[in-house]
Amino acid sequence: MDFLTLLQVLDTTVRLATPLLFACLAGLVCERAGIFDIGLEGKMLASAFFSAAVAAISGSVWIGLLAGVMASVALAGVHGLASITFRGNQLISGVAINFLASGLTVLIAQDWFGQGGRTPSLSGGARFNEIKLPFADLLSGLPYIGQSYAELFSGHSLLVYVGFLTVPLTWWVIFRTRFGLRLRAAGENPEAVDTAGVNVIRLRYTAIAICGLLCGLAGVYLATGLQAGFVKEMSSGRGFIALAALIFAKWRPWYALFSCLLFGFFQALSFRPDVVKAVTSLDVPGQLLDALPYILTVVILAGFVGKAIPPRAGGEPYVKEN
Amino acid sequence: MTVLPKWADAILIPLLSILISFVISGLVILYLGLNPFEALRLMVTGALGSSYGWGYTLFYTTNFIFTGLCAAIAFHARLFNIGGEGQATLGGLGVALVCLAVPWPHWTLALPAALIGGALFGAAWAFIPAWLQARRGSHIVITTIMFNYIAAALMVYLLVEILKPEGSMDPATRRFGPGAELPLFSDIFGLVGIPFSSSAPANISFFIALLACLLFWLLVWRTRLGYEIRAYGHSETAADYAGISPVRMIIIAMIVSGALAGCMAINSVMATERLVLNSVEGAGFIGLAVALMGRSHPVGVILAALLFGFLYQGGGELALWANIPRELIILIQGLVILFTGALDNMVRMPLERIFLMIRRPGRQGA
């Protein structure tokens, strides 16, 4: 395998890791605050549809982005209502949200566009186009370093860069701010947070809103960056891979970056069976590569490779003492 | 502290929750430009208006009874088995392997063997997450989700690379052969002279599903094991104190759960007479809605499965006659799960207040 092929695979890895990364960080914020969210998938899907649909109608990807994020935050609001206000089962609520999104997107898509549950193809200003970093063309002649710069670092859509910057941002917010400290405390010991006079309910709703925002960006990137338009079920399990990545990362932002890149790499490899065959000289079935993130997560969860301990109060509704 | 009488808890709350789900679904249908009552009429005619419609409705109902029981037994042990989909997928593999293994002379031999095959494969697929939860503390919800995806990938691999007959482009096994053909409703009702559409797939598995409900009831409420499972579900610490092993309960409940999901395949796979990709078609997830709506009781499960069978067939008809995609059912399913499951308290809390007011008249403002 030559260097250029490697760069291509890594380039695809970055593209495919971005939606995982947004969703993974979304889950991180939410679960750190003590709310389990298996509805990442649904929020991502809803956002993908609404961003693509509104971008197609308005011709502006920015209005699309706003619509997508709003849809995702609205679903996050439902999750909050069910799991915080009405103290329902957070897992059941997440499952419900996945179905709501998967049903609604197709129904509305068919009603608005009549194309069998897809949106029209987006082009020009209706999608996030690739950004060429300065000097990319100039440096592309330079072997290795220049090539990497031109192929791997340059030429992604804006949201890819935003996604990677969200990692340090999330780390800073969660581990270096007062809000982050309270958020983590709400996920470990909400009684203590309450005793300190901080409103657990509001804290958790804030976390859920951030989760909605980030899931929204994941969906927007899927439909307007990675692909040019919405097709039904386009999130295709990414929300669950993100959840797997979150556990793999043991609920820490920098680890989340690496686990998302790893799972993105597997996805990229499953697109290039020829590369896998050339490198390993084994006929690895593509399905095995598809399933690898899930298998790895099970192995991690089983505690064979380190131990993944979730936030202690995760999944428990907080009931304030009277 | 139970404020609500038993009937309100078991019947009134689910009914109200379903009502809310249907009102919202009706509003969505209205938004899509169809009169909701017209849509309902189309669905009722399509699903219940002919023996053909009934044949499909009961065919789907059979699937949903099995997956509903699968989720229900796990709920009794306070386990959230979201892996019914994968377990039913593997059950399909088990049934298919049994049906392909020998040229079965008659369905009376093929059916029990296939049932065992499906149940074993489903149970095995549930056993791994169960063991991981019981012994290693891995969260069963996450592992069963992962196992759904692993099952899907495994199935694609097996059907495309191994089980597909030589020269075929279709990712499916070869046909099972005439000995594995189950008697359809038209055959069964034909014996007593009742005419029934012979092109509808409802078959003898429906009665096996009903039998499974009876056995489920006996197991959960009439055996020591069922008592232990329920005790474990109510309070793990109390059960542990009473000498009930949590490890045993998790593993047994999940094995039964997976076996029930696997049994679904006798209906879905044997009716198509070969194993195709995605033979489960989301029935595993519908099982969650069915169990929640049916309050994890077999009678409730049957009723809820019938409702979803109706929705499934009626929704198909709606997609045929009106410009409304089948995904409407997924939306309704989501709403039912949301309102009967996660937003249960939204209905319960006001209802409790009303019952308190009725019970203690005159206390108000005192």
Spell out the residues 6+ positions from residue B200 whose beta carbon is closer than 8 angstroms to its own.
B51, B52, B53, B54, B55, B56, B59, B184, B185, B186
Q: How far apart are CA B221 and CA B296, in angstroms?
A: 12
Which of A90, A288, A294, A312 best probes binding to B when mutated, by most B CB atoms within 10 angstroms?
A294
| CB-based contact, A95 to chain B, within 8 Å | yes
Identity of the residue in A107, A301, A310 whose CB atom sits nearest the CB atom of B132: A301
The upper half-sphere exposure of residue B314, i.e. CA atoms within 13 Å in the direction of its Cβ, equals 22
pLDDT tens for each residue of B205-223: 999 999 999 999 999 999 9
pLDDT tens for each residue of A259-303: 999 999 988 888 887 787 778 777 778 788 888 888 888 887 787
Residue B40 C-alpha, separation from nearest chain A C-alpha, in angstroms: 17
B335-360 average pLDDT score: 87
Query: What amino acid is encoded at B116 in this protein?
Result: I
Q: How far apart are CA B48 and CA A197, in angstroms?
A: 58
Picking from A314, A238, A306, A299, the residue whose alpha carbon sits closest to that of residue B147 is A299
Residue of B nearest to A247 (CA): B142
End-to-end CA distance of chain A: 67
Mean pLDDT of chain A: 89
Residue-level length of chain A: 322
Q: Cβ–Cβ of B28/A102 closer than 8 Å? A: no
Across chain B, how many H-helices and E-strands are there? 16, 0
Q: How far apart are CA A243 and CA A251, in angstroms?
A: 10
DSSP SS3 for B144: helix
Residue B164 has pLDDT above 90, yes or no: no
B304-332 average pLDDT score: 90
Q: Kindly report the CA angle at B75 between B237 and B144, in degrees rounded to 5?
A: 100
Selection from A316-320, B102-106, B148-152 with the highest mean pLDDT: B148-152
What pLDDT is stored for residue B1 in this prediction?
47
| CB-based contact, A240 to chain B, within 8 Å | yes
A90-113 helix and A40-58 helix, angle to the nearest 10 degrees = 20
Q: A–B: how many Cβ contacts below 8 A?
A: 153
Residue A138 has pLDDT above 70, yes or no: yes
Q: Cβ–Cβ of A100/B343 closer than 8 Å? A: no
Identity of the residue in B149, B292, B334 whose CB atom sits nearest the CB atom of A99: B334
| CB-based contact, A305 to chain B, within 8 Å | no
pLDDT tens for each residue of A115-130: 888 899 988 888 888 8
Cβ contact A26:A215 at 8 Å: yes
Give the single-character DSSP code of B30.
H
Categorize the per-residue pLDDT at A4 as very low, low, confident or very high, splitting at 50, 70 and 90.
Answer: confident
Q: How far apart are CA A297 and CA B280, in angstroms?
A: 24
Identity of the residue in A92, A107, A298 whose CB atom sits nearest the CB atom of B337: A92
What pLDDT is stored for residue A145 in this prediction?
78
Identity of the residue in B154, B323, B341 whose CB atom sits nearest the CB atom of A89: B341
pLDDT tens for each residue of A199-239: 999 999 999 999 999 999 999 999 999 999 999 889 888 99
User: Which of residues B101 and B365 earns the better pLDDT score?
Assistant: B101
Residue B299 has pLDDT above 90, yes or no: yes
DSSP SS3 for B50: coil
Categorize the per-residue pLDDT at B2 as very low, low, confident or very high, splitting at 50, 70 and 90.
Answer: low
Contacts of A106 in chain B (CB under 8 A): 325, 327, 330
Residue A31 has pLDDT above 70, yes or no: yes
Q: Cβ–Cβ of B141/A38 closer than 8 Å? A: yes
Residue A231 C-alpha, separation from nearest chain B C-alpha, in angstroms: 14
Categorize the per-residue pLDDT at B139 as very low, low, confident or very high, splitting at 50, 70 and 90.
Answer: confident
Contacts of B143 in chain A (CB under 8 A): 298, 301
Contacts of A295 in chain B (CB under 8 A): 146, 150
Instruction: Give percent above pLDDT 70 in chain A.
Output: 98
Q: How far apart are CA A136 and CA A156, in angstroms?
A: 12
Picking from B172, B145, B154, the residue whose alpha carbon sits closest to that of residue B85 is B145
Which of B327, B340, B352 best probes binding to A when mutated, by most A CB atoms within 10 angstroms?
B327
B7-20 average pLDDT score: 88
What pLDDT is stored for residue A306 in this prediction?
65
- The number of beta carbons lying within 10 Å of the beta carbon of residue B272 is 16
DSSP string, B72-94: HHHHHTT---TTHHHHHHHHHHH
Identity of the residue in B146, B328, B337 whose CB atom sits nearest the CB atom of A244: B146
Instruction: Give percent above pLDDT 90 in chain B.
Output: 59
Contacts of A302 in chain B (CB under 8 A): 132, 136, 138
Give the single-character DSSP code of B172.
B
Q: Cβ–Cβ of A103/B32 closer than 8 Å? A: no
Residue B364 has pLDDT above 80, yes or no: no
- The number of beta carbons lying within 10 Å of the beta carbon of residue A258 is 15
Residue of A nearest to B137 (CA): A302
Alpha-carbon dihedral angle through residues A279, A283, A286, A292, given to the nearest 10 degrees: -70
Picking from A286, A33, A93, A208, the residue whose alpha carbon sits closest to that of residue B141 is A93
What pLDDT is stored for residue B366 in this prediction?
39
| CB-based contact, A74 to chain B, within 8 Å | no
- The number of beta carbons lying within 10 Å of the beta carbon of residue A155 is 17
Q: Which of residues 269-288 of A touch B (CB under 8 A)?
A: 285, 287-288
What pLDDT is stored for residue B365 in this prediction?
46
What pLDDT is stored for residue A76 in this prediction?
97
Mean pLDDT of chain B: 90
Q: ipTM value, please give it.
A: 0.91
The upper half-sphere exposure of residue B190, i.e. CA atoms within 13 Å in the direction of its Cβ, equals 10
Contacts of A240 in chain B (CB under 8 A): 145-146, 149
End-to-end CA distance of chain B: 22
HEC string of chain A? CCHHHHHHHHHHHHHHHHHHHHHHHHHHHHHHCCCCCCCHHHHHHHHHHHHHHHHHHHCCHHHHHHHHHHHHHHHHHHHHHHHHHCCCCHHHHHHHHHHHHHHHHHHHHHHHHCCCCCCCCCCHHHCCCEECCCCHHHHCCCCCHHHHHHHHHCCEEHHHHHHHHHHHHHHHHHHHCHHHHHHHHHHHCHHHHHHCCCCHHHHHHHHHHHHHHHHHHHHHHHHHHHCCCCCCCCCCCHHHHHHHHHHHCCCCHHHHHHHHHHHHHHHHHHHCHHHHHHHHCCCCCHHHHHHHHHHHHHHHHCCCCCCCCCCCCCCCCCCCCC
Categorize the per-residue pLDDT at B361 as very low, low, confident or very high, splitting at 50, 70 and 90.
Answer: low
| CB-based contact, A168 to chain B, within 8 Å | no
Categorize the per-residue pLDDT at A113 as very low, low, confident or very high, splitting at 50, 70 and 90.
Answer: very high
Cβ contact B259:B83 at 8 Å: no
Q: Cβ–Cβ of B146/A247 closer than 8 Å? A: no
Q: Cβ–Cβ of A91/B82 closer than 8 Å? A: yes
Query: What amino acid is encoded at B17 in this protein?
Result: S
What pLDDT is stored for residue A305 in this prediction?
64
Residue B357 has pLDDT above 90, yes or no: no
Q: Cβ–Cβ of B334/A103 closer than 8 Å? A: yes
Residue A40 has pLDDT above 80, yes or no: yes
Categorize the per-residue pLDDT at A322 as very low, low, confident or very high, splitting at 50, 70 and 90.
Answer: low
pLDDT tens for each residue of B95-124: 999 999 888 899 999 999 999 999 999 999
Spell out the residues 6+ positions from residue B324 whose beta carbon is closer than 8 angstroms to its own.
A107, A110, B29, B32, B34, B39, B318
Categorize the per-residue pLDDT at A172 as very low, low, confident or very high, splitting at 50, 70 and 90.
Answer: very high
What pLDDT is stored for residue B74 in this prediction?
96
Q: Cβ–Cβ of B146/A86 closer than 8 Å? A: no
User: Which of residues B49 and B1 earns the better pLDDT score?
Assistant: B49
Domains of chain B: 17-24+42-221+249-344 (1.10.3470)
Residue A112 has pLDDT above 70, yes or no: yes
| CB-based contact, A93 to chain B, within 8 Å | yes
Spell out the residues 6+ positions from residue A320 whose beta carbon is closer than 8 angstroms to its own.
A194, A200, A201
